[in-house]
Amino acid sequence: MTKLGKLYGIGVGPGDTELLTLKAVSILNSVDVIFSPRSAPRRESIARKIIEPVLNGKAEVVELVFPMTREKDRLEQHWSQAADEVASALRNGKNSAFVTLGDPFFYSTYIYLYRKLRERYPEIDIITSPGISSAFASASAAGIPIAIGDEKVVVIPLPGDVRGIQRYVEMFDTVIILKVGERLKELVEILASSGLAGNAILVQKVSQQGSEKIIFGLSGLTRDELNKVGYLSTVIVKRKLEI
């Protein structure tokens, strides 16, 4: 009987290949198959682009589509299909890796795949290898310490009702807001009403060569800057902005 392969969930960091861990590189160059997610058939896989420069060519790279949709049934179907595809490679004895942006257990698609595999194939051995999260990379790129001493920090995806952000900026010294995208304008309005728009930093595509953009203070953004914010954007709000 073929020995079941192992699955490695690998965090590949936010964009710069040099932010891959040594462990990630050594696993990626030892497995037989690397599964890489992308959000649409014609969109490039950012995780694949990050790892490509360090690959030794041993592994077959297979891209899996995880659409950006809130339709639960559609997502379930894609996660189940992906779990079956990964399980099939493992059953053929192929050690495999699944690469994911930032850290794998931090708001990542990998978690859905991980759960599906646990549920459907409990016999599979899954090892998760951490990566540098965009939240930490954003703070470093901006030169903004996240926390010192007894300061309190929260990380949240921008709430459906943006006004929900208000209580976090009142309670925490640092608020890291993910999934800002098209709703930056609403967020800036809410921050301005608390007098904190000037203390907010927008980090876009951190560590992605030629694309990274950091804006300090969000009070005077142009219409273009407010409207052209992509998915890979993080806002850091500091109650007291001091370096």
Ligand X SMILES: C[S@@+](CC[C@H](N)C(=O)[O-])C[C@H]1O[C@@H](n2cnc3c(N)ncnc32)[C@H](O)[C@@H]1O
Among 14, 116, 144, 229, binds ligand X (CB under 6 A): 14
CB of 57 to ligand X, least distance (A): 26
Binding flag, residue 108, ligand X (CB under 6 A): yes
For ligand X, which stretch binds (CB under 6 A), given 51-59, 87-95, 98-106, 163-171?
98-106
Binding flag, residue 95, ligand X (CB under 6 A): no
Among 38, 49, 91, 179, binds ligand X (CB under 6 A): 179
CB of 126 to ligand X, least distance (A): 17
Identity of the residue, 96 or 109, whose beta carbon is nearer to ligand X in the bound complex: 109
Identity of the residue, 134 or 199, whose beta carbon is nearer to ligand X in the bound complex: 134
Among 129, 234, 237, 238, binds ligand X (CB under 6 A): 234
Measure the CA angle with vertex 15, ends 12 and 37; round to 5°: 55
Q: In this structure, what token pair is assigned to residue 141? A: 């790129």
Identity of the residue, 33 or 206, whose beta carbon is nearer to ligand X in the bound complex: 206
CB of 61 to ligand X, least distance (A): 20
CB of 110 to ligand X, least distance (A): 8
Give the count of residues interacting with ligand X (CB under 6 A).
Answer: 21
For ligand X, which stretch binds (CB under 6 A), given 60-68, 77-85, 122-130, 132-140?
132-140
Is residue 2 within 8 Å of residue 92, measured between CB atoms?
Answer: yes
User: For residue 82, how far is the Cα from the chain centroid?
Assistant: 18
